[in-house]
Amino acid sequence: MAAALQPLELVDKCIGSRIHVIMKNDKELVGTLLGFDDFVNMVLEDVKEYVITPNGREVHRQKKILLNGSNIAILVPGSDGPE
């Protein structure tokens, strides 16, 4: 039987790939994962940031962003996001 994959090992395998990040504050981001640390603080590049507003969902583009791991709710490897 193969050993179970640990969560940080899965995130490590996603470096260089697109990842969909759902934050605790109703923001969602999709970008290429450049790296992360033991606290799951992440650096993403070529980022689309989806923000829910009273007028609907807005999309903002960021070249590079640093996410605080304590604000991350869900990670979806290989996803292109909510579109």
- Contacts (Cβ under 8 Å, ≥6 apart) of 38: 8
User: Which range marks the domain in which residue 64 is found?
Assistant: 7-77
In a domain, 82, yes or no: no
User: What type of residue is 70?
Assistant: S
In a domain, 1, yes or no: no
Per-residue model confidence as pLDDT tens digits over 16-65: 999 999 999 889 999 999 999 999 999 999 999 998 889 988 999 999 99
User: Which class for 30: exposed (0-12), middle (13-18), buried (19 or more C-beta within 10 A)?
Assistant: buried
Residue 7 backbone dihedrals phi, psi, to 5 degrees: -55, -45
Least confident of 4-13, 27-36, 70-79: 4-13
- Contacts (Cβ under 8 Å, ≥6 apart) of 13: 77
Q: What is the pLDDT of residue 1?
A: 57
Q: Using the predicted structure, report yes or no on whether residue 7 has a pLDDT greater than 60.
A: yes
Q: What is the pLDDT of residue 6?
A: 85
Tokens of 6: 């640990």
In a domain, 59, yes or no: yes
Number of domains in the chain: 1
User: What type of residue is 40?
Assistant: V
What's 25's domain CATH number?
A: 2.30.30.100
